[in-house]
A and B are shown apart, each in its own frame.
Chain A
C-alpha cells in the first residue's frame, strides 16, 4: 500500500537540506513503527519518494512524500505518531492513500504558491519593480547548464506576483511560480526586482498538481476527493500554462 504524506517545515529546522529531510523521515518512519517496503537487490533501500526539493532556509506548509508500505498503517493515528518521531519544526499535516497509477510528485507538480520577505528597497520601490516586471512580455535569464550558458525567457513561469505589504524586516510578496516546463526559482526571481533586493525569508504555501487540466492539491490528486476545497481556481495566464503543461505531458 502506498500513502502520500503532507508535512510542514518551519522554524530552525528550515536550515536542513532536502537530503537531510529524507534521512530524518527514513528514521522517523522506523520509530513510528511503519513497515516501509524495501527495494530488491544488492543494497536494499526504503521505498520513499520525495517531491520538489525545498531550498535550505525556506519554510513550507506544503511538502510531500510518497511512501510504499509493506503493511498498512492506521490512518487516523499515523500523522500524530509520525509527527512525534520528527524533530521540532517538521510536522505531518495529513496522510492519504495513494491510488495505483497516480503520477509521482516529481511528474505532477506544476506550480507552487509562495510568500516572500525581501529587503533592500522600500515598499513603493518594490511595488514599482513588480509592476514593471509583470508588464514585460519577455524576461530573459542566463543560466549555466552543464557548463553551457543558455538564455531562457522565464516570464511565462511567473504566474502571479504581488506586493502583500510590510513585514517585520522588509516587504512581503506573494507569488505563484511554475515548476514544470519553464521554471523559475525564488532566488532567481527576487534579484530581478533590483540589484539591491535580497530574499530574506521564503515560505512555500501550496503546491499544485495538474490532473486532466484541473489543478488539485497533491493529496486530493492522490485520490482523497473528499477534500473539495483543495481544487484551485486558476486565472487566464495560468490556465494557458496548465493547458501547455497538459499538452506537453501528452507528447
Chain B
C-alpha cells in the first residue's frame, strides 16, 4: 500500500483537490473540520506548528480529551499553532494515493508534512499500523532514521507510550505522562533551535531528550543476549539513562479543554466531558491506566461546576459526562451531581443528563445513577471483572457478591431492566470454576431482576486479558487465543440455557495481536512495518483485522509469539520498558504480583497509609483529594472481607 509514494507537497491547502472527491466517499463530514471550538489559527512560518493526529477514524479520535487539551494549550501560545488530523478511512485513502493528495489537517487542509510536529495519541496497540500509514500518507519516511530537517518531528503520547519500544524505529520523540507542561517546553526548545539557524536534526532531538518526560528512542541502543534483552542504554552521557514520566501536580491550574470541540457530525462520545480527577489508586492489578496515572488529583468541585456550566452554555449539549477512572470515588460526588443538576434547572434549558463513565458496584453507585438518569433508563453497566471472590482478590477488585447483588437489586427496583456486566478472562491462575462463576453471577442478577420485571436481562461482555507494562501482571504469560476461545465456549455453553443472560465477547485473535505489541521490544518494529505494508491498517476494526498478518510477520522475522506473548517473565528479567519510569517502583509491582498469587488484596492508599508504590514519594507530590475518608458504603478496596491468604502457584504453566 505504500508503493505509491506521496510526494512532499508545498501547496498551502489540499482543499481544492479534496473537495471534488468527498462526494465519492462515506461520511465526508469527517474531513471538513468546522467544529465549534476549532482554533483556525492561520498558517504562519514564524510559529512552531503542531499537527495533532489520532490514528483512527474521526468519530473515535475527535472526542479524545488529551489531544483537545494539548491543541488548546499550543494555540494559546503566541509562538505556536496547532491543527488536527485523523486517519482517513480506506475509501478516501485510496483516492488520495491515486491522486497524490497527502494527509491533511481538518482546519486548513494543510499538508501534514508542512507541520513542524506530527503528534500522535497512542491509546491502543492495534492503531500502531495506522500511525505508520498516516506518516507515509504525509509524504514523510516511516522510519525515523530516514527523515531529514525538512520533515516534521514525529511524536507520540498517551498510555501506550509507556512501552514505546515496538515503535522505536518510527517515532522521533515520545512524551511520557501528562502533556500539559511538556508540549510547551518542547515548543520552547524548537523555537530556540530554529532561532539558532541550525539544520542538524540530531542536535534538535538530543536537546529534546534532556527534557523531563521526553524519550528520544534514537538516542538509546538495545543490547540482547540471544532472545533476552540485556539493556536499553543511552548512546551519549548527556542523555538520561532513565526517563521519568511527567505529572501535573494540580489539575486546578489546567481547566482544559475550555472550548471543547463540538463536532458537526456524530462521534463516539457526543456530549460535554469534564475531567473531575486524574489518577486512580483502587489498585486493580490488571489496570494499566490506574497504575501509570497515580497519584489521585481531584479538580476542585467549584471548578468542575463552572466548567460544566460554561461548557453547556457555549456548546448547547444537554448531556455532560464527569470523566475519571472511577468517578464515584470523587470526594462529595453526590453533592456535586446534585449541584450540577440544580444549576441546570435554574438556567431553564431543557432536561440535562449527567453520566458517569463507570459506576461503583454498590447501592450508593445506583443511587447516584438514579439521580442523574432521571429520564433515560436504558441500561446500567457494572464491572466486577471476575466471576469469583478468589479471582477478584487476585486482581484486587474487591467487590463482594453482596455488593454486586445489592447494586443490581437497587437498580432493578428503581426501574432499570437491563444490566451489563464487564468481565475479563485469561487472568492469572484462572480456573474453569472462575470462568463458570461469571455465568453464575449473571444468572443470579437476572433472578434478582425477575422480582421486579419479567423482562429483566443481563449482558455479559467478556474481554481477553492482555498483561500491560507497569502493572503487577506485567510478568504474567498471556493465555493463548486457543485457551481464550475454549473459555469463551465453556461460558457460552453454560449460559445457553440461562434465560435472560446474554454473552458477548472480544475476538481472542485480536487479543493475541494486542499482546504481541503490548510487551514487545524494538525487534517488533519490522513486524509492525510488515503488517502495515501488507495492508494491515484499521486493525481495531473487525472488517479489517487479520490475525494472520501478525502471526505470519512474526514468523517471517524469526520472532516467537510464545516468547513475546505467552511466556511468564521472571523477577530478574530486563523488561523492554525498564529504562522508563512510570513512577512505580519495580519491587512494589513485584511484591504486588506475589500478593496477587497469594490472593491478598491491597487497600486504596487514598484512605489508608501509604505503601510506597513510588508515584508520590519519588516525585515529591501527593494525592489531591477534598476528603480523606472513603465514600460511604461498598467494599471495593476499603473494607472487604479478607479470606486468609492461601498461596497458589501458577500451576497451569504458560501454555494453559
Question: Chain A interface (Cβ within 8 Å of chain B)?
Answer: 12-13, 15-17, 19-20, 23-24, 26-31, 35-36, 38, 42-44, 46, 56-57, 85, 87-89, 200
Question: Which of A19, A56, A88 meets B34, CB within 8 Å?
Answer: A88
Q: How far is the CB of A89 from chain B (nearest CB, A)?
A: 7
User: What 4 pairs across the A-B complex have the smallest Cβ distances?
Assistant: A27-B316, A15-B28, A30-B316, A31-B316
Which among B151-159, B258-266, B320-328 touches the partner chain?
A: B258-266
Task: Let me know if A200 and B20 touch, CB within 8 A.
Answer: yes
Question: Chain B interface (Cβ within 8 Å of chain A)?
Answer: 20, 22-23, 28-29, 31-36, 262, 264-266, 270, 313-318, 348-351, 375-377
- Name 22 A/B residue pairs within 8 A (Cβ), A-sorted: A12-B32, A12-B33, A12-B34, A15-B29, A15-B31, A17-B29, A20-B264, A24-B264, A29-B316, A30-B350, A31-B315, A38-B350, A42-B375, A42-B377, A43-B376, A44-B350, A44-B351, A57-B22, A57-B23, A85-B316, A87-B264, A88-B34
Q: How far is the CB of B417 from chain A (nearest CB, A)?
A: 11
Contacting residues, chain B, for A89 (C-beta < 8 A): 34
Cα distance A35–B270 in the bound complex, in angstroms? 22
Task: Let me know if A38 and B351 touch, CB within 8 A.
Answer: yes
Contacting residues, chain A, for B375 (C-beta < 8 A): 42-44
Q: How far is the CB of B91 from chain A (nearest CB, A)?
A: 14
Question: Which of B20, B314, B350 meets A46, CB within 8 Å?
Answer: B350
With A12-B33, A44-B350 known as contacts, the answer to whether A27 contacts B28 (CB < 8 A) is no
Using A29-B316, A31-B315 as known contacts, list a sample of 12 further A-B pairs with CB atoms less than 8 Å apart, ordered by residue number in A. A13-B34, A15-B31, A17-B29, A27-B317, A30-B316, A31-B313, A31-B314, A31-B316, A56-B29, A57-B22, A89-B34, A200-B20
Question: Which of B29, B315, B316, B348 meets A20, CB within 8 Å?
Answer: B29
Residue of B nearest to A28 (CB): B316
Cα distance A89–B28 in the bound complex, in angstroms? 15
With A26-B316, A42-B376, A42-B377 known as contacts, the answer to whether A15 contacts B32 (CB < 8 A) is yes
Task: Let me know if B264 and A56 touch, CB within 8 A.
Answer: no
Contacting residues, chain B, for A17 (C-beta < 8 A): 29, 265
Cα distance A38–B31 in the bound complex, in angstroms? 33
Contacting residues, chain B, for A57 (C-beta < 8 A): 22-23, 28
Q: How far is the CB of B202 from chain A (nearest CB, A)?
A: 41
Q: How far is the CB of A25 from chain B (nearest CB, A)?
A: 9
Contacting residues, chain A, for B377 (C-beta < 8 A): 42
Cα distance A99–B141 in the bound complex, in angstroms? 64
Task: Let me know if A30 and B318 touch, CB within 8 A.
Answer: yes
Cα distance A87–B23 in the bound complex, in angstroms? 20
Task: Let me know if A36 and B264 touch, CB within 8 A.
Answer: no
Cα distance A203–B22 in the bound complex, in angstroms? 16
Contacting residues, chain B, for A85 (C-beta < 8 A): 316
Task: Let me know if B266 and A23 touch, CB within 8 A.
Answer: yes
With A16-B265, A36-B350, A44-B350 known as contacts, the answer to whether A27 contacts B32 (CB < 8 A) is no
Contacting residues, chain A, for B351 (C-beta < 8 A): 38, 44
Residue of B nearest to A26 (CB): B316
Residue of A nearest to B348 (CB): A35
Residue of A nearest to B109 (CB): A12
Task: Let me know if B36 and A87 touch, CB within 8 A.
Answer: yes
Contacting residues, chain B, for A88 (C-beta < 8 A): 34
Residue of A nearest to B262 (CB): A27
Residue of A nearest to B34 (CB): A87
Task: Let me know if B32 and A13 touch, CB within 8 A.
Answer: yes
Contacting residues, chain B, for A15 (C-beta < 8 A): 22, 28-29, 31-32
Task: Let me know if A16 and B264 touch, CB within 8 A.
Answer: yes
